[in-house]
Amino acid sequence: MFAENLKIALRAITANKMRSILTVLGVMIGVAAVIAVVSLVQGMQYKISADLRDIGSNYIEVFPDPGEQRNPFLQKMPDLTVDAVVIAAQIVTALQTLVSRETSPRAPVVATLGSIHGGSAFNIIAGEVVIQGTLRTFDAAIRERLLQRMAELASGIAAAMRGSCEFRLESAAPPVVNDAAMAGLVAEAATDVLGADGVVPFEPLMVGEDVAYFLDARPGCFFLLGGAPDSGPVLHHTAEFQVDERCLLIGYRVMSAAVLRLLEPD
C-alpha cells in the first residue's frame, strides 16, 4: 500500500498537476499522543526510507547457484545440496553489522528484516528464500552507502556458500521536511484552537510518508494530531490500533485555521 501511494504521489508531480498548488498541508493522527495535542517540528521530520519487499519491488532473494546441485529431496545427503535457508540465516545476521560496525553510533540508522519466507516442508532442503525488510536513516549519503553494502554483503555470503542472491530496491521515500515558515503558521493556528499547551514539538520519527514528495515540490507542513483512545496510547500497525474520533473535529479546526491564515493578505 505504501509503495502504491508513492507511485500515486510521483505521478501527480511528474504530470505537473501541482502547477497551481502553492503550499501543502498534511496531517496524520498520532495514536501515541493524547487527544487535543498537535505535534510538529520545523525542518526534517521523518526518515529517508528504503523498503526491501517482495519480487518485483524490493527484496533479497537467495537461491543455489545454477551450477550447483539443487535437488530439494536430498535432505539425507546434505553435502550434495545448497541450503538457501542456511545462507539466508547468515545474511540476516551479517546485515546487522552494517549498522553496528560500519556506521557511526551517532548516526540514527535502523535496518529491519521483518519477513523471511522459504521452504515448503520441514524435511525438504529449501531451494529459495525471500527476505523482506526496511532501511531507515535521516542521512541520504548513509542510505546510499548502506544499500550498496547490503547488496555486496548478501551477494558475497551467498557466493561463498555456493549460492547466489538478487537484491532489488523499489520504493524509497525522501525525508519529510517541513518548511519553517509554514510550520510556524500551523503552530500559531493550532495554538489559537487548542491553547499553548496543546502544541508540542517532537523529535524526528523513523517512519515513511508519501507526503514527502509533495513537500519536496512545494513548501508546506505535515503535523501529527493526537488521537489516542481513553484506554491509553497505542501504536500504528498493531492489532490494538484504534483512534478516538473526537480528534477529527480538532484536526478540521486546526487545518481550517491554518488555511484562513494563509489567505490573509500580506
Reported confidence tier of residue 46, pLDDT bands at 50, 70, 90: very low
* Furthest C-alpha separation in the chain: 80
Judge whether 30 and 227 are in contact, CB under 8 Å. yes
pLDDT at 64: 63
The whole-angstrom distance between residue 128's C-alpha and the CA centroid of its chain comes to 26
What b-and-e string marks burial along 117-145, b requiring 16 or more CB atoms within 10 Å of the CB?
Answer: ebbeeeeebbbbbbbbbbbbbbbeebbee
Distance (Å, whole) CA 124 – CA 131: 19
The CATH code that applies to domain 49-168 is 3.30.70.360
Q: Residue 7 CB: number of other CB atoms within 10 A? A: 12
**Helix, strand or coil, per DSSP, at residue 263:** helix
For β-strands 43-44 and 59-64, DSSP reports them as: unpaired
Dihedrals φ, ψ of 140, to 5°? -65, -40
With contact defined as beta carbons under 8 Å apart, do 226 and 34 qualify?
yes
**Alpha carbon distance 133, 131 (integer Å):** 7
Residue 237: other Cβ atoms inside 10 A: 6
| Cβ(137)–Cβ(208) below 8 Å | no
Across 53-57, 74-78, 135-139, 234-238, least confident range: 53-57
Q: What is the pLDDT of residue 61?
A: 72
Domains of the chain: which residue ranges? 2-46+175-263, 49-168
pLDDT at 90 over 50: yes
Specify the CATH number for 2-46+175-263; select among 3.40.630.10, 3.40.1280.10, 3.40.640.10, 3.40.50.11540: 3.40.630.10
What does the pLDDT read at residue 53? Answer: 34
Which residue has better confidence, 22 or 149? 149
Determine which of 71-75, 156-160, 200-204, 245-249 has the lowest per-residue pLDDT on average: 71-75
Asked if 44 and 177 count as a contact pair (C-beta separation under 8 A), the reply is yes
Quote the CA–CA distance of 166 and 127 in Å, as a whole number.
14
